[in-house]
Amino acid sequence: MSRFFAVVERDLRKFVRNPLVMLVSIIMPILYLIILGNSFQGELKNLPVALVKMDRGPYAEKMERRLRSLEAGPGKIALYDVSDQGFAMKGLKNGLFKAVIVVPPDFSRDVLHKKTAEIGLFLDNTDPISSEAVRGAITLAFSDMEGEFIPVREERSRPRLREVEVYKKIDYDQTLIPGVVIMAIFLGAMTTGVFNTVMDKFLGTDESYLLTPLRKIDIVMGLLTSGLFITTILAFLVLFISSLILGIYLWGILTPRTLFYLFIVVILSILCLQGILFLILGRADHPRIVGVLGGFLNVILFFPSGAIYPVESFPRWLRLFARINPETYSVHALRAILFKGAGLAAVKWDLAFLLVFAAIAVAVATAVFKREL
């Protein structure tokens, strides 16, 4: 029994001597609860919808009041007045809006003259969860409004909502492909550069660095480059295999131009995550810490990225976090390129953020990296 208790005592002493593992073991489950609980709220909220109102007649005003009440009451949509239909459609393509409602100039007149009056609803169907929520909310508001216009027996003159899905139909499981690629990037970044550094420290082989003229920047950039090469291959393999499984054939979607943008997004995403991991785990000396913190970071970054649930429906504090989360911009850019065939105009701000974030993260990670015992 004494030998048994000796083993128990040794393991407990090792655990107590590592306060970081103890702290993470306490905080991580609490943060999981907070992040996951707020990343999957049942009802969608604050979905941005553009309203292009070309008619200023009484029935158009009634319809806008209905939409405003929908915005102020359930809060499912956030309504934006847009005067230019072309700008609204461009915003829909670039991910600025989830839907565009177009009220034609003769809407009120058609209702008054008991003609068939139509309102256009253009949906970004590359995000099926959001588009279904918007469709249901707008249809409900519109159907309630119909009774105010004319009696039910005047069937031919009742206003109609004409829905237009702007893009080719995308199933929900297909929309998960960008998130799967980002997950592969995170795992690749975690198991290459910084993990090799931790294992070298754990095994004691990092002491050989002290006998060489290698500088901190040489070590960090070398590990980042090798990890970048391996993770890029993994990311594109995951993208290709998952697209085949889900019936999306990339050779019919990607052009040389969009393939180039896709490559840039993947490269910058890898550098962002490698910089974060190096910054947090660069001084770790045990693989157990990598495992604990790696799983924690994966949850913290992945679920608030919009890969599974629309960012617009997060609580305000989580939306603020999503704005500085590099995976949010990676997911948005990948979704725009893969499902919309979008060009530079749709992803330029994503690329700009990822570029700046990657440069800062790598620079800080290099500065704090320790080349000493």
| 149 pLDDT above the threshold of 50 | no
How does residue 156 score in pLDDT terms, banded at 50, 70 and 90?
A: very low
- Give residue-wise pLDDT tens across range 19-34: 665 565 556 555 555 5
DSSP line for 141-196: HHHHHHHHHS-TT-GGGS-EEEEEE-S----HHHHTHHHHHHHHHHHHHHHTHHHH
- The greatest distance separating any two alpha carbons of the chain, rounded to the nearest whole angstrom, comes to 96
Of 34-38, 44-48, 127-131, 355-359, which has the strongest mean pLDDT?
355-359
Q: How many residues does the chain have?
A: 373
How does residue 359 score in pLDDT terms, banded at 50, 70 and 90?
A: very high
Instruction: Give the rounded percent of residues in the chain with a pLDDT score beyond 70.
Output: 77
How does residue 211 score in pLDDT terms, banded at 50, 70 and 90?
A: low
Angle between helices 326-340 and 287-302 (to 10 degrees): 60
| 148 pLDDT above the threshold of 50 | no
Strands 118-123 and 99-103: antiparallel
How does residue 266 score in pLDDT terms, banded at 50, 70 and 90?
A: very high
Of 8-22, 150-164, 318-332, which has the strongest mean pLDDT?
318-332
Answer with the residue of higher pLDDT: 260 or 69: 260
Closest to 206 in 3D by CA, of 223, 191, 228, 182: 223
Closest to 317 in 3D by CA, of 34, 49, 78: 34
Least confident of 188-197, 208-217, 246-255: 208-217
The pLDDT score that the predictor gives to residue 154 is 44
Closest to 248 in 3D by CA, of 145, 170, 346: 170
- Give residue-wise pLDDT tens across range 37-60: 555 555 677 888 999 888 888 888
The pLDDT score that the predictor gives to residue 155 is 47
Assigned CATH class of 47-169: alpha beta
How does residue 8 score in pLDDT terms, banded at 50, 70 and 90?
A: low
| 133 pLDDT above the threshold of 90 | no
Average pLDDT of the residues of the chain: 77
Of 10-14, 42-46, 316-320, which has the strongest mean pLDDT?
316-320
DSSP line for 268-302: HHHHHHHHHHHHHHTT--SHHHHHHHHHHHHHHHH
Domain boundaries, the chain: 47-169, 173-368
94's tokens: 């670039």
**How far is residue 371's CA from residue 121's CA, in Å, rounded to a whole number?**
59
